[in-house]
Amino acid sequence: MFLYLKKLNHDVSIIIPTNYPHFLKWLPNNEDFIIFSEKNQGVIKEKIIYSDIIIFIDVHNLYRIKPIDIFLEESKAIKMLIDHHDHLKNDDFFDLKFYDPTASSTSIIIFRIINSIGDFNMIDLRIATCLYVSLITDTGSFRFSITPETHYIAAKLLETGIDISYINNRIYSIYTKYRMSLLGKTLQNVKIISMYRTAYTIINAYDLKDHNYGDTEGFVNYGLDIKNIVFSLIFIEDPIQKLIKISFRSKGNFDVNTFAKKHFSGGGHKNAAGGISNKSLNETIKYFNSILPIYKKIIQKINL
Ligand code: 5GP
Residue 80 CB less than 6 A away from ligand 1: no
Domain ranges (residues) in the chain: 2-172, 177-300
- Predicted confidence (pLDDT) per residue in 169-183, tens digit: 999 998 889 999 999
Residue 59 CB less than 6 A away from ligand 1: no
Q: How distant, in Å, are the alpha carbons of 66, 90, 138, 302 from that of 80? A: 18, 12, 22, 38
Helix, strand, coil fractions of the chain, as percent rounded to 5: 45, 20, 35
- For ligand 1, atom 15, the nearest C-alpha belongs to 274
pLDDT at 259: 98
pLDDT at 90: 81
pLDDT at 22: 82
d(CA 150, CA 146): 6
| Phi, psi dihedrals of residue 230, rounded to the nearest 5° | -120, -5
Ligand 1 centroid – CA 91 distance (Å)? 19
pLDDT at 270: 94
pLDDT at 26: 95
Q: Is the pLDDT of residue 213 over 90?
A: no
Residue 272 CB less than 6 A away from ligand 1: yes
- Predicted confidence (pLDDT) per residue in 69-128, tens digit: 999 999 999 999 999 999 898 889 999 999 999 999 999 999 999 999 999 999 999 999
Ligand 1 centroid – CA 298 distance (Å)? 22
- Predicted confidence (pLDDT) per residue in 145-166, tens digit: 899 999 999 999 999 999 999 9
- Predicted confidence (pLDDT) per residue in 61-83, tens digit: 998 999 999 999 999 999 999 99
**What is the CATH topology of the domain spanning 2-172?**
inorganic pyrophosphatase (n-terminal core) (3.90.1640)
d(CA 247, CA 262): 14
State the CATH architecture for 177-300.
Answer: Roll (3.10)
Q: How distant, in Å, are the alpha carbons of 195, 228, 254, 270, 295 from that of 198? A: 8, 9, 11, 16, 11
Question: Which ligand 1 atom is nearest residue 261's CA?
Answer: 22
Inter-residue contact 137 to 171 (CB < 8 Å): yes
Residue of 176, 191, 264 lying closest to 222 (CA atoms): 191
Ligand 1 centroid – CA 146 distance (Å)? 19
Q: Is the pLDDT of residue 214 over 80?
A: no
pLDDT at 66: 92
- Predicted confidence (pLDDT) per residue in 240-292, tens digit: 889 999 999 999 999 999 999 999 999 999 999 999 999 999 999 999 999 99
The domains spanning 2-172 and 177-300 adopt the same CATH topology: no
Summary mean pLDDT of the chain: 95
